[in-house]
């Protein structure tokens, strides 16, 4: 009986690892494949030809740099709005607070395709279609769910007594926020920034419909390469996008504590 249970557990672990890691292994193999024909399980010929091609082509590197630039600006705009909003949600009684918090979920609650297609039609009318700032504003609107909810949970996890002690000692409300509350909230803010960055870096729908035809982010370029059956180029771009995701997930594991997540339901 114990042997059967152990066997089932091992099989379950192997299946989970295959589901999670299998696609990543395929991407890595494609990025080094010169020739790979069915039904061979691995490529018939390996090499660095397509990696060299990616780093030699300025268009691909420009798309990667553009994606990184957009993600960084989106992080800044999201936190600029989220920090004061989240502090208000965490520290004050706001009418219809839960309704307002749910509103931040709305861009993510519906399928992304109709949301961004409609947003693209609006942006085209006001001159934000086909340029970088249209993508940035769309990403900022959609990413507020990560920034506002996580930062709100972070502020709620910080005891109000610390602020009250500072106020009793003569500190102003503004000084208390910048010297007591904000430094304690830095880990949660970092985690929020990483979530926003990774979402913006890997987002495709808004970049495709709002940025077209003049703006090509890395995800759009990866899509066009895969649609042209150039799986090697698409796989190299995918790996370059995965690298910051892995690094930042390690940071999230360190900074996003359980108490911050617990505050989301408070």
Which CATH number goes with the domain that contains 183?
Answer: 1.10.3720.10
**In a shared domain, residues 31 and 101:** no
Which uninterrupted H or E stretch holds 98? helix 97-109
- Residue-level pLDDT at 254: 66
- CA-closest candidate to residue 35, choices 232, 223, 224, 226: 232
Q: Do 254 and 208 share a domain, yes or no? A: yes
In this prediction, residues 115-129 reach a mean pLDDT of 85
Work out the average pLDDT over 37-52. Answer: 80
Q: DSSP letter for 264, please.
A: G
Q: How many Å from the N-terminal Cα to the C-terminal Cα in the chain?
A: 44
Question: Number of folded domains in the chain?
Answer: 2
Question: Could you tell me the pLDDT band of residue 265, with boundaries at 50, 70 and 90?
Answer: very low
CB–CB of 43/35 below 8 Å? yes
Instruction: Write out pLDDT tens, residues 154-169.
Output: 898 888 888 888 888 8
Does residue 14 register a pLDDT over 70? yes
Same domain, 20 and 140: no
Q: Which residues contact 24 (CB under 8 A, 6 or more apart)?
A: 242
Tell me: do 58 and 155 sit in the same domain: yes
Same domain, 90 and 41: no
- For β-strands 45-46 and 33-35, DSSP reports them as antiparallel
CB 244 within 8 A of CB 201: yes
What pLDDT, on the 0 to 100 scale, is given for residue 252?
Answer: 66
Whether residues 86 and 198 share a domain: the answer is: yes
Mean pLDDT of 131-152: 88
Residue-range definition of the domain harbouring residue 36: 1-47
Q: Tell whether 2 and 116 lie within a shared domain.
A: no
* pLDDT (0 to 100) of residue 106: 66
Say yes or no: 169 and 233 in one domain: yes
From CA 99, how far away is CA 76, in angstroms rounded?
25
Same domain, 115 and 29: no
pLDDT confidence band for 262 (50 / 70 / 90): very low
**Segment 212-259, tens digit of pLDDT:** 778 888 888 888 887 777 888 888 888 888 888 778 777 766 655 544
Query: Are 108 and 7 found together in one domain?
Result: no
> Are both 128 and 33 inside the same structural domain?
no
Beta bridge pairs of residue 33: 46
**Pair 184, 229 in one domain:** yes
The mean pLDDT value for 111-136 works out to 85
Under the banding of pLDDT at 50, 70 and 90, the label for residue 141 is confident
Q: Give the pLDDT confidence score for residue 83 in this predicted structure.
A: 92
Give the span between the Cα atoms of 94 and 81, in whole angstroms: 17
- CA–CA gap between residue 228 and residue 146 (Å, rounded): 34
**138 alpha-carbon distance from chain centroid:** 14
């Amino acid at each position: 009986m114990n042997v059967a249970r152990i066997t089932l557990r091992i099989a379950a672990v192997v299946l989970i690892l295959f589901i999670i890691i299998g696609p990543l292994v395929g991407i890595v193999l494609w990025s080094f494949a010169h020739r790979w024909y069915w039904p061979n399980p691995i490529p018939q010929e390996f090499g660095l030809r397509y990696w060299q091609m990616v780093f030699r082509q300025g268009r691909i590197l420009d798309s990667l740099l553009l994606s990184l630039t957009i993600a960084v600006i989106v992080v800044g705009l999201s936190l600029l709005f989220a920090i004061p909003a989240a502090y208000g949600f965490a520290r004050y009684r706001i009418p219809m607070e839960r309704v307002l918090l749910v509103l931040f979920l709305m861009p993510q609650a519906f399928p992304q395709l109709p949301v961004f297609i409609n947003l693209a039609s609006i942006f085209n009318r006001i001159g934000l279609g086909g340029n970088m700032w249209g993508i940035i504003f769309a990403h900022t609107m959609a990413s507020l769910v990560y920034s506002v909810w996580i930062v709100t949970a972070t502020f709620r996890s910080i005891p109000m007594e610390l602020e009250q002690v500072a106020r009793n000692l003569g500190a102003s409300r503004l000084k208390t926020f910048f010297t007591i509350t904000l430094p304690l909230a830095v880990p949660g803010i970092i985690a929020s920034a990483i979530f926003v960055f990774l979402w913006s870096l890997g987002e495709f729908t808004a970049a495709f419909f709002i940025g077209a035809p003049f703006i090509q982010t890395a995800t759009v370029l990866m899509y066009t390469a895969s649609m042209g059956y150039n799986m090697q180029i698409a796989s190299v771009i995918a790996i370059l996008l995965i690298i910051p995701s892995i690094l930042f997930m390690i940071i999230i594991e360190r900074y996003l504590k359980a108490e911050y997540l617990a505050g989301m339901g408070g």
